[in-house]
Amino acid sequence: MATLLRKIGLIRLHNRDTEDPKHHHNHRGGGQQSASLRGKGGAKSGGHKQQQQQQPQQQQHPGGAGDASPGPGKGKGKRAAELAPRDKAPAAAAAAAAAGAGGPRERAAGARAGPGPAVAAAAGGSLVPAARQQHCTQVRSRRLMKELQDIARLSDRFISVELVDESLFDWNVKLHQVDKDSVLWQDMKETNTEFILLNLTFPDNFPFSPPFMRVLSPRLENGYVLDGGAICMELLTPRGWSSAYTVEAVMRQFAASLVKGQGRICRKAGKSKKSFSRKEAEATFKSLVKTHEKYGWVTPPVSDG
């Protein structure tokens, strides 16, 4: 009899140790199934699909349904393992957002992506104008150097150039010749005036904008020379200027306008010795530009050349 009881006890212990763990899992999940039955009608089928999707994950983690000896705390561990992949993604995203570009990987990714729009805009605000200014300076310098070389090669010595304080952008130009049949030429001979001296200053965006040109000496009357030595010529205005105009061409046009406008050397006592001023010339030129922009420039007849 004792032997029979020992055999029965061993059979029970064996059945308990080899019992299917799914029985415990289903027993623990009974509350969840009852809750799902109180929900929508399609929740049972969804729970069945979710259970089928969880089985491969349970086989990968120890303590799941595939473990032959589940302990008393393995059910909670299995549930935590199932929820871990869902919780890792938001947590990782939050950590990356909080860390910013602190880690080496984040810094490497930021370097590959390049600066953001705000950084690029801030950098562009300071770098673009500086680069543009440097480019304009190079264009202006190359153009003026070429102009100087072309003037030096003139065979008729029509004009000559001297740099003011060795500045490439500030010239004193001597006009040596005008029409020899004009009264202005006669005035130059009678007053022993060898040349008409003009000053040309070139803006930063030359040759796309005209130079500012004014007469320095002698003091002239008429000939489209106004107060301060300002010169009334449309091609010297932003509207009439072209980047194709050269200094030589501008000076030849000025010599022609002097003769056409009956320019004369001022011989009045006291007034002839008064020199032109740049400030007065600039104010006069601005005023005449506004006047001509409002009323237009008078085009001379074809018979006048």
Q: Please report the pLDDT score of residue 129 as a whole number.
A: 79
The mean pLDDT of the chain is 73
Q: Is 153 exposed, middle or buried (0-12, 13-18, 19+ CB in 10 A)?
A: exposed
C-beta of residue 137 within 8 angstroms of C-beta of residue 233: no
User: What's the whole-number mean pLDDT along residues 70-78?
Assistant: 49
Q: What is the mean pLDDT of the segment spanning 109-134?
A: 56
User: With 60 as the cut, is the pLDDT of residue 46 above it?
Assistant: no
- Give the pLDDT of residue 153: 93
At residue 16 the predicted structure's pLDDT band, cuts being 50, 70 and 90, is low
Q: Report whether pLDDT(120) > 50.
A: no
What ranges do the domains of the chain cover? 130-268+275-294
Our answer to whether residue 232 is catalytic in this structure is yes
Average pLDDT of span 77-95: 50
| Neighbouring residues of 156: CB distance < 8 A, sequence distance ≥ 6 | 177
What pLDDT score was predicted for residue 250?
97
> Which one of 184, 232, 258, 289 is the catalytic residue?
232
| Side chain identity at residue 258, one-letter code | L
> Highest-confidence range of 33-37, 120-124, 195-199, 273-277, by mean pLDDT?
195-199
**CATH C-level class of 130-268+275-294:** alpha beta
Beta-carbon contacts of 154 under 8 Å, excluding residues fewer than 6 positions away, are 248
> What percentage of the chain has pLDDT greater than the value 90?
44
Dihedrals phi, psi of 234, to nearest 5 degrees: -65, -35
Each residue's pLDDT tens digit, 143-185: 999 999 999 999 888 999 999 999 999 999 999 999 999 999 9
- The set of residues, in sequence order, having a beta carbon less than 8 Å from that of 146 and lying 6+ positions away, is none
Residue 30: the pLDDT is 46
**Which segments within the chain are labelled E, that is strand?**
159-163, 170-175, 196-201, 212-217, 220-221, 264-265
pTM, 2 dp = 0.56
Measured CA to CA, the distance from residue 68 to residue 134 in angstroms comes to: 79
Q: Residue 273 has what pLDDT?
A: 64
